[in-house]
Structure 1
Amino acid sequence: MVVKKKEKNEVVYLVVSAAITIFCLFFIYYVKYTNQGLNLAFFNLNSVGNVLNLIFSLLVLLGILIYFFKNYEQLQSIVILGFVVIMTTALAFAYILTKFQLPLKTVYFLGQPLQKIITGGLFTAYQFIQIILICLLWSSSFGRGNILYFRSVINSIIIILLLFVFTFFYSASLNDKVEKEIIKKTKSNIAVVLGAAVWSNNKASPSLASRLNKAIELYRLGYIGKIQLTGSNAPGELPEAEVAYRYIRHKEINEEDILLETKTTSTTEQVSFVKFSLFDKKSAEIIIISDKYHLPRVIEICRFYDVIATPVSSDLHFSTRNNIYHRIRETIAITIFWLFAI
């Protein structure tokens, strides 16, 4: 048998690599759910992200199995183990950063907390290294020398781009479904207005104002009975929910029907708030209001949390250039959420 020709160390390296890969698969599932305040009882393979995690891990395991029964001179088993260790290290550090706050709480970059960016970078590094390993294992029988590694990196970039393309068109299909949603007309419904940017002098941005205008419209038409405002603040400004409250309080809305939540800092946290704070209010329906380009990610996060809500788009329109920009940004955000639930 070919197995007998392999050195004992090679077999050990491969077995350890496979074991760590399996561990990483279960660990990433654990991290995704516990970081969102959920236990693994909520786990399901109907989630696109969970399926992707499984597929990538299976491709690594199958590649290791094929390597085990063949001799690939251009790829050594110690290299396979090295890649597995590096990707596991990136995953471990990413997890640590989700549990411990660095002294970067007030440091922002491109409008995002720096620690969140670093954490996302480590998760991304884990996934990119895993994809490179997949390409190495599956192309090793065709590659030669150093060209194998170069080709694997290029193939990995292509795979990531194809994943983004898939996500782009998938989110577009969700937008089509949003336009067909029907809301039952009843005052027991609660509209959740997702927070958006606050401009200088604590003025609601066009995005936030448009979402609020949609909530006001639904309230006046009798489709909802309460408006839940959400969103915390960046340094030096009022919470998004507070700015939203100031915007709508004089718009013929009963103040008793306006609810405020001022601690959430992201779409994920806002859906989590809906899950754990609004589902006990016996409303006929939860309606989540945001901009059209943003709703596909909202829908995917709701599926992850097992939140049943009706997405409603604001009437805000963008130029073609801005619309493309927002679509691309949301495509990246959805992909990252699928893979890491952040």
Structure 2
Amino acid sequence: MNRLIKRTLFILLISIIFGIGMTGIINYNIINFSSKYIVSLEDAPKCEAALVLGALVYNNERVSPILQDRLDMGIELYKNNIVQKVLLSGDHGRKLYDEVNAMKKYVISQNVPVEDIFLDHAGFNTYDSLYRAKHIFQAKKIIIVTQEYHLPRAIYIARKLGIEAYGVIADKHIYPKMPLYKSRESLARVKDYILVNFLKPKSRYLGEIIDLSGDGRVTDDKK
């Protein structure tokens, strides 16, 4: 029995070491791959749209600070004529929780024309947002807007899906929960590395193709 316990513990230890090692390798590869596509506002290439990835919205439909910073950077890209459209991708899978319309309301308040705002109601996670940007919105060249900790994974997914994607960092403040976000992100990179390279699933919700060169109001009620 002691020999069996020792063997089991040894196998468990080797598995843990292997898992930690693979996590480190995958994280390094994603960060290294994506780093050359992260640009400043001044150096950002002209693209068809800024893809702003969703985040927490409060019960009063007020966007959280981390999401507001993403939206502000997307607005800056639009107002500097770097992008022609703003694509807001977030979670609108529940009746009482709606990220995308709260995002849209904020962007409109900053004087972005409503016809240039597109909504992706089924951006439930980073993979879904990028998959739908490619297959529903037919995005070819975009700038992804999110915080620095999140940007390498988003760019990696986009590039692996065939989108010419760049990223602009939206860190305008210090976020209290950043250590938690970073620790979760290291595992999320492993998950999405497997998804985009091996499993290659479709997004949970698909639908008709939406032309990003058209009027964004067609997306007001579409998933």
TM-score (norm 1): 0.51
**Does the 8 Å CA contact 1:192/1:227 hold for their aligned counterparts?**
yes
Structure 1 or 2, whichever has the larger Rg, is 1
Question: Post-superposition shift, 1:269?
Answer: 1.1
**Larger relative contact order (CA 8 Å, sep ≥ 6):** 2
| Gap regions ≥5 residues in structure 2 | 202-223
Answering whether residue 175 of structure 2 is matched by residue 316 of structure 1, we say no
RMSD of aligned residue pairs (Cα, Å): 2.5
Q: Work out which of the residue numbers 165, 168, 179 in structure 1 matches 2:24.
A: 165
1:78 is aligned to: none
Q: How does 1:132-147 map to 2 (within 5 A)?
A: 146-147=5-6
Where do 4+ consecutive residues of structure 1 move more than 6 Å?
none
2:190 is aligned to: 335
> Residues of 1 paired with 2:135 and 2:31: CA distance?
29
1:195 is aligned to: 54
**Does the 8 Å CA contact 2:87/2:117 hold for their aligned counterparts?**
yes
Secondary structure at the aligned position of 1:198 is classed as: coil
Query: How many residue pairs get matched?
Result: 193
Higher-strand-fraction structure: 2
Answering whether residue 103 of structure 2 is matched by residue 244 of structure 1, we say yes
Secondary structure at the aligned position of 2:36 is classed as: helix
1:306 is aligned to: 162
Sequence identity (%): 26
**Does the 8 Å CA contact 1:288/1:311 hold for their aligned counterparts?**
yes
Answering whether residue 75 of structure 2 is matched by residue 216 of structure 1, we say yes
Q: How does 1:1-342 map to 2 (within 5 A)?
A: 146-173=5-32, 176-180=35-39, 182-185=43-46, 189-233=48-92, 235=94, 237-279=96-138, 285-318=141-174, 322-341=177-196
> Residues of 2 paired with 1:180 and 1:295: CA distance?
11
TM-score (norm 2): 0.75
**Does the 8 Å CA contact 2:31/2:153 hold for their aligned counterparts?**
no
Higher-helix-fraction structure: 1
Question: Post-superposition shift, 1:226?
Answer: 1.0
| Gap regions ≥5 residues in structure 1 | 1-143
Say if 1:315 and 1:296 are closer, same or farther in 2 by CA, change over 3 A.
Answer: same
Secondary structure at the aligned position of 2:86 is classed as: strand
**Does the 8 Å CA contact 1:210/1:314 hold for their aligned counterparts?**
yes
